[in-house]
Amino acid sequence: MSRPASPDRTERSLTLGLLLGLLITLSAVLAYSAYITWQIKGLRQLQTNLVDRNRKDSLQLLRIQNDLNLLAVAMRDMVSSDEPYPLTAWSAQFQRIRTDLDDAMRLEAEFAAAGRTPEQSAFLSSSFTQFWDAVDRIFALAQEGKEKEARAQIQLSLQERQAALSTAVARLLVQNSESEEQAGQRIVQIYDRVRRQVYVFLACTLLAILLNGLSLIRWNRRLFARLEEISERRSELAQKLISTQESTLRYISRELHDEFGQILTAIGSMLRRAGTHAPEGSSLRADLQEVLQTVQSTLESVRSLSQALHPVMLDEAGLESTLDWYIPTVERQTGIAISYEKQGEPFPVDSGAGVHIYRILQEALNNVTRHSGAKQAWVRLRFLPRTLELEVEDRGAGFTQNGIKRGIGLVAMRERSELMGGTIVFLKPPEGGTLVHLTVPREKAESYGKEDHSVARG
């Protein structure tokens, strides 16, 4: 047979479960954040190293292509028979274009795309070198006066080299465009993958939160069930303790009233008879009379103590008559002026509920006597259509100053009110002091003992 888990072990397991769920959720968030950071970093590197670099390289290739077009136009004019200028007149223009081409080639080599092969770079560089070597030879022939031969070399060799260079540059531009398009596709794929993973992560996070929430709800239900069970046991224990206390007080009260009362009554009768046999005016008769008065005073004290422990009037005359007797008794014993008010149409109160109401009033007046320092108090009993209300008010020090809030008496008052299904509140009136307000449902006040007997029989 398995033993139930202890509350400490249950609390530890709940705490560990919640901490584990929180740790898993935080770990998932941190891991996904690191993954997203890595993806964004890779995307940024891709955009910087490929897309931006490709764009800058294409700009330089377009610059080279424009210079080659200028060279083509110049070579066309050089071989044209309509131009009256000698070939050496184009030397300065070719030099400016060469300077710009060299700068463009240098920058283009820095921004060259990663997908370009070394053979392509070497071919482009060697082609330009051969082109400018051919240009130098043509201008050398022109300076020697061999204009016709120089023009023939332009048509046969130089224009073909320029066309080959333009084709190579155009091919590199197409390659850069294709690389940029591929990079764009990769970027779109990365965005799509990250977006899908965001959805997956959100779904997993929501699932984890849902599982943690369901676990928390289940654990809370277990805790609340445990608390409810403890509360029921506490209420049952309080009821048994109060019932035991009342039974003990009732027994002591009856013993005092029946046994000691009868004994003291018998002693009084014996003293009276003895007094009648003593000589008139003798000291013995005076002593017997003094002892008789002491016995009578003791008998009254025993009866008062018996009534204070458990007033028989509650069982015989009911709550209202008991309070009519008890409040003036407290007023005589304590010297506190108590103003007692009754409102509404009285209805019968069960003796079990009457005992609880009587004890609450007794404890409230004891607090007024012992702690408040007040010389006046007000007791109000209201018979309302649905409830029975009891109020005890004073203008004394109040709870905050005398520190009786932690006393066992107030705890007992709350327990008794809960046993009757009622409520009790401790207020501080605007005028100061303390107001104890008890509210008991009428059906509980009328049938409290009957419900207890039916439960006991069940």
Give the pLDDT of the chain (458 residues) as one tens digit per residue: 444 445 555 556 666 766 776 777 777 777 777 777 777 776 666 666 667 777 888 888 899 999 999 989 988 888 876 666 788 888 899 999 999 999 988 888 887 766 677 788 788 888 889 989 999 998 898 888 888 898 888 888 888 988 998 998 888 888 888 877 877 787 778 778 877 877 887 788 788 778 877 877 887 888 888 888 887 787 777 777 777 877 787 778 777 767 777 787 888 788 777 777 777 767 777 777 788 788 788 877 777 777 667 777 777 788 888 888 889 988 888 889 999 999 999 898 888 888 889 889 988 998 888 888 888 999 999 999 999 999 999 988 776 544 444 567 788 888 888 888 899 999 888 888 899 999 999 998 888 765 554 444 44
Same domain, 322 and 199: no
Asked if residue 370 is part of any domain, the answer here is: yes
Q: Which of residues 218, 240, 266 is at a domain's end?
A: 218
321 located within any domain: yes
Enumerate residues 6+ apart whose C-beta is below 8 A from 283. Answer: none
Contacts of 52 (CB under 8 A, 6+ apart): none
pLDDT at 124: 84
Residues in Cβ contact with 119 at an 8 Å cutoff, skipping those fewer than 6 apart: none
Q: Write out the DSSP string of 178-236.
A: HHHHHHHHHHHHHHHHHHHHHHHHHHHHHHHHHHHHHHHHHHHHHHHHHHHHHHHHHHH
- How many other CB atoms are found less than 10 A from the CB of residue 135? 24
**pLDDT recorded at residue 338:** 92
| CA–CA distance, 319 with 397 (Å, rounded to integer) | 29
Give me the pLDDT at residue 441, please. Answer: 92
Residue 344, in any domain of the structure: yes
Whole-number pLDDT of residue 378: 93
CATH of the domain at 328: 3.30.565.10
pLDDT at 377: 92
Residues 185, 319 within the same domain = no
Alpha carbon 43 to chain centroid, angstroms: 38
46 & 184 share domain: yes
Domain of 200?
Answer: 7-218
- Whole-model pTM: value is 0.51
Residue 5: strand, helix, or coil: coil
* Same domain for 353 and 210: no
pLDDT, residue 405, reads: 46
Q: Is residue 237 part of a domain?
A: no
For the record, the structure tokens of 331 come out as 């007023």
For residue 426, being part of any structural domain is answered with yes
Domain boundary among 195, 218, 241: 218
* Coil vs helix vs strand at 101: helix
- Asked whether residue 263 is domain-assigned, the answer is no
CA distance 336 to 433: 15
Asked whether residue 281 is domain-assigned, the answer is no
- The tally of domains found in the chain comes to 2
Yes or no: say if 351 and 310 are a contact pair by the CB < 8 Å rule: no
Q: What is the pLDDT of residue 337?
A: 92
Are 20 and 159 members of one domain? yes
Do 355 and 211 belong to one domain?
no
